[in-house]
Structure 1
Amino acid sequence: MTTQATTTNTYRMGYSDAIIKFMDARGADTEAFPLLPLLQPTYKLLDLGCGPGSITVGFLPRVAAVTAVDVSGVSIDMTRRRINELEKAGTLSSADAAKIKYLQADILSGLPFESGSFDVVYASQVFVHLTGPGQAAEAMAEVRRILKPGGILATRDAAEALYYPRHLTLWDIWGSKMNRALLGHDAQYVADGRPGGPDMMPKLYREAGFDMNKTKVVSGLPWVFSGREGREWCVNNWTAKMDDASLLDKWTAAGVTREDKQVAKDALAGWLDNDDGYMMVTHCDIIGWK
């Protein structure tokens, strides 16, 4: 994330074909299903960090109005294009398509809404990227501000990546220094818990003033990458990041050496060729009430 709302491409994972294909496969039914039974036809919903809109579109038939917000103009353009194409194809009704508004904005700069504007805020994979000092708490306070009294915040953030077979120890190789460099976590990662991670999210809700008698961690679906195609997606994506010249400073700052990268590449190659290999990403899904 960035504090400059005018930045057009700040998504840390980039916009490669592999990333876009992965994000396109996500939908409200899988990513936001704990929230869906709580939605009402009269609700105004803000989708914070809407990405390419594959989840956003699933909210439209269920509520009165949706505001799609992202710090990236690229994401906003993709969401708008998705809605237009679905309407033209007849997959999305014109009435539902008319419910959406688009806004490129950075929550860390404040959102241009009056306090108490929304019944629901949904944020998928947003807080996990707010890694600077105080950023996650600042964003949580702003979300609470724009919620109506009794309003709902639903967040979903990646928690742990589990690699199997376990003896390949891919988490030890990829997930320590390399994952920290990619997501921008600092030395407090171990001491104080990862910002936006499973250690910190309930605390963020509590310290922001959400009703902790109602606010709960809920059961969400993991992401699973299995079979040759699933493993190839992971390996190709991660190898590209290790070879990305624009990330060199981040690797260096995190202490990732050329030798570290080669060890990781060798381990990934072995995992790719293991017919029993798969990866599962668990999530911290929380629903809170103001």
Structure 2
Amino acid sequence: MQDNTIVYTHGHHESVVRAHSWRTAENSAAYLIPYIKEDMHILDIGCGPGTITLDFARLVPKGHVTAIEPAPGDILTQAQDLAMTQGVTNVEFRTGDIFKLERMFGDRKFDIVHVHQVLQHIDRRRVPEALMQMRAVTKPGGVVAAREADFSAMTWYPESAGMTEWMETYQLVTRANGGEPDAGRRLVSWALKAGFARENITTSAGTWCYSNPGEREWWCNLWADRTVSSNFKPTALKSGIADQEKLDRIVAAFKELGKSEDGWFTVLHGEIICRVD
């Protein structure tokens, strides 16, 4: 993954890890839980701080979870430390490239290969290739599972010019990086291009909804921080997609939404389960 095929729009700034650490199997992979059995071996790609990964590990007490991130660094150390703190031992964290899974694992096969919010950051022309690699390390009868946000389908209230600017800017920055912000709606198309038969693809949609005061303000504040503190800012400025004034307007809009008594923000995700023959 150390090339131009993946450019993570956010990076691992504290504001980003703050959001990732909130994720659990229940709130971010509920569509997959019914497929998990206690003796399974799972590959979790793009594990971040490891909160979903560790939930998977607890669901497979007689199995094992392998989790990978594209590069060594603090985020993998954080995941390893969390596993140690929580006493979860049937898990392994390591670096790995989604485009080299077959080479990395050889004949080793997994019951489930999972990604969450990863495919949207891959060079959109190569997403089917990534899914093919996931399938290559999945056992016959196993599943490839993916859940991706769909930014154009996100909704919020009250509407504001600043929030509209954020959506337009985010779309442009992500696409400038080669990614696809509206990944959720494209999952079936990508899976078909990867060679999965349509009858082997199960689809669903999931949401995150931030409407009560505490959750809404938490969500809006972390996105305000991402806008000016994560990798998003230098990309937006360097590419000319935004200037500092525009970014400041976006920050103000998020903070205003976070404090709005009638505020609402919902994230829509596409979800697929692809059965491997």
Q: Shorter-chain-normalised TM-score: which range?
A: 0.7 to 0.9
Closer, same or farther: CA 46–232 of 1 in aligned 2, 3 Å? closer
Aligned position for 1:163? 156
SS at 2:113 equivalent? strand
In the alignment, which residue of structure 2 is the partner of 1:150? 141
Does residue 1:289 correspond to 2:275, yes or no? yes
Name the Cα RMSD after superposition. 3.0
1:35–1:272 distance in 2 versus 1, CA, 3 Å: closer
Given that residues 9 and 231 in structure 2 are in contact (C-alpha distance below 8 angstroms), is that contact kept between their aligned partners in structure 1? Answer: no
The answer to whether the 8 Å contact 1:180/1:254 transfers is no
Q: Which residue of structure 1 aligns with residue 228 of structure 2?
A: 242
Match of 1:27 among 24, 27, 30: 24
Q: Distance in 2 between matches of 1:77 and 1:15?
A: 13
2:47 is matched with 50
Q: Any residues of structure 2 matched to 1:1-290 within 5 Å, and which?
A: 2-3=2-3, 11-63=8-60, 64-73=63-72, 74-87=74-87, 92=88, 97=89, 99-111=90-102, 112-115=104-107, 117-130=109-122, 132-160=123-151, 161-165=154-158, 167-181=159-173, 183=174, 185-186=175-176, 194=180, 197-224=183-210, 226-227=212-213, 230-231=216-217, 233-235=219-221, 237-239=223-225, 241-242=227-228, 247-253=233-239, 255-290=241-276
Q: 1:264 Cα shift?
A: 2.5
Which letter maps to 1:51? G
Q: Is the 2:216–2:258 Cα contact (8 Å) retained in structure 1?
A: no
* Bigger RCO of structures 1 and 2 (CA < 8 A, at least 6 apart): 2
Shift in alpha-carbon separation, 1:276–1:229, aligned structure 2, 3 A: same
In 2: Cα distance, 1:225 partner to 1:106 partner? 37
Question: Gapped runs of 5+ residues in structure 1?
Answer: none
Distance 1:82 1:187, change over 3 A: closer
Q: AA paired with 1:65?
A: H
TM-aligned CA distance change 1:269 to 1:42, over 3 Å: closer
Q: TM-score, length-normalised on structure 1?
A: 0.80
Identity within the alignment, %: 22
The residue type equivalent to 1:41 in the other structure is E
Residue 75 of structure 2 aligns to a residue whose secondary structure is helix
Shift of 1:143: 0.6
Distance 1:139 1:223, change over 3 A: farther
**Count, aligned residues:** 270
Query: Which whole-Å CA distance do the structure 2 matches of 1:172 and 1:262 have between them?
Result: 14
Unaligned runs of 5+ residues in structure 2 are none
Cα drift, residue 133 of structure 1: 5.0
The code of the aligned residue for 1:214 comes to: N
